[in-house]
Amino acid sequence: MVSPTPKTHVLEVWGDFACFSRPEMSVERFSYPCPTPSAARAIFDAIYFKPQFYWQVARIELLTHPNYIPLRRNEVKDRVSETMVKKWIKGSAEPEPLLADADKSLTGSDQKGRTQRQTMALRFPRYRLHAQIVARDSSGKTRSSCDAQFVRRARLGKCFQQPYLGCREFVAFFKLIEDETEQQPPCHLTQDLGLMLYDVFDLRADNHATFRKNWKDVHPSVSMFRAQIRDGVLDVPPIDSDEVLSVPSPEAEC
């Protein structure tokens, strides 16, 4: 029996800023002109996610020409522990903020509490994302049910967490596109992006679903692909395609 063609869902997303960092810029962030497949997948995940399936991004359209803006930000070095957050919620401990400009008079040590970094971000980006639900089993019923639930949630603007454009502080707004006949065409941009990050999880192995439960037991599985924007469109190959180059982590090989 031939499996029915997966339904393609389309979202239009936009925001004030975006930054999809190129991995070769390890310290100073420099954004790709468009989302990586993993960043686009995260937007769909924020609206609707279940361990029974994963999102396969198929197409990314740039609706505005990339407009770069330099930002210099103070970033804190420390992280708040999960244990402390739980104590704050229960009221058993007083919240202690992480200060970006802390000095010895506040911390009691000479160590600075922040790092100043330069970011080349995107200003007023707008994209159209195409993705499909890929069920982890062969049940067409699972995919059909998930398709309907995603459409209902996206149509009402519901999400489990606020979607973002690369960095969590760059909020993404979205709307479901159900009729593409009269939509804005992609911008006129053709660019070879070289090797682009595809994802940091092996979606087929279910480890990005496991990550939400216990991130300590999940090993990263970085993958990349040759990305080329043609007339404002980036076509994304399936994760099981030969065009996707996987780089397993050393921990996974041990």
pLDDT of residue 254: 44
CA angle, corner 116, sides to 66 and 171, nearest 5?
45
Instruction: Specify the higher pLDDT residue, 105 or 82.
Output: 82
Residues near 70 by beta carbon (within 8 Å), at least 6 away in sequence? 118, 119, 120, 121
Type of residue found at 103: D
Comparing C-alpha atoms, which of 87, 123, 107, 121 is closest to residue 14? Answer: 123
**Radius of gyration for the alpha carbons in the chain, expressed in angstroms and rounded:** 20
pLDDT of residue 2: 42
Region 13-38: what's the mean pLDDT? 90
Q: Where are the domains of the chain?
A: 8-70+121-196+229-237, 78-112
Residues near 148 by beta carbon (within 8 Å), at least 6 away in sequence? none
Q: Cα separation of 2 and 143, whole Å?
A: 15
pLDDT of residue 166: 92
pLDDT of residue 63: 95
pLDDT of residue 53 exceeding 70: yes
- What average pLDDT does the chain have? 84
163: phi then psi, degrees, rounded to nearest 5: -65, 155
pLDDT of residue 141: 63
pTM exceeding 0.75: yes
Q: Cα separation of 2 and 227, whole Å?
A: 31
CATH 3.30.70.2660 fits 8-70+121-196+229-237, yes or no: yes
pLDDT of residue 135: 84
Question: Coil, helix or strand for 217?
Answer: helix
Region 216-241: what's the mean pLDDT? 87
Tens-place pLDDT, residues 65-95: 999 999 988 777 777 788 888 888 888 888 8
Query: Are 163 and 125 within 8 A, CB to CB?
Result: no
- What is the pLDDT confidence band of residue 1, given thresholds at 50, 70 and 90? very low
- What is the pLDDT confidence band of residue 109, given thresholds at 50, 70 and 90? low
Type of residue found at 155: R
pLDDT of residue 215: 53
pLDDT of residue 24: 82
Place of tokens 């980006």: 125
Q: Cα separation of 230 and 41, whole Å?
A: 21
pLDDT of residue 94: 85
Comparing C-alpha atoms, which of 33, 37, 40, 31 is closest to residue 12? Answer: 40
pLDDT of residue 128: 96
Alpha carbons within 13 A on the beta-carbon side of 244: 22
Q: Cα separation of 161 and 167, whole Å?
A: 14
Bridge partners (DSSP) of residue 224 are 197, 245
Bridge partners (DSSP) of residue 170 are none
Region 47-61: what's the mean pLDDT? 92
Tens-place pLDDT, residues 172-217: 999 999 887 878 899 999 999 999 999 988 887 765 555 555 555 5
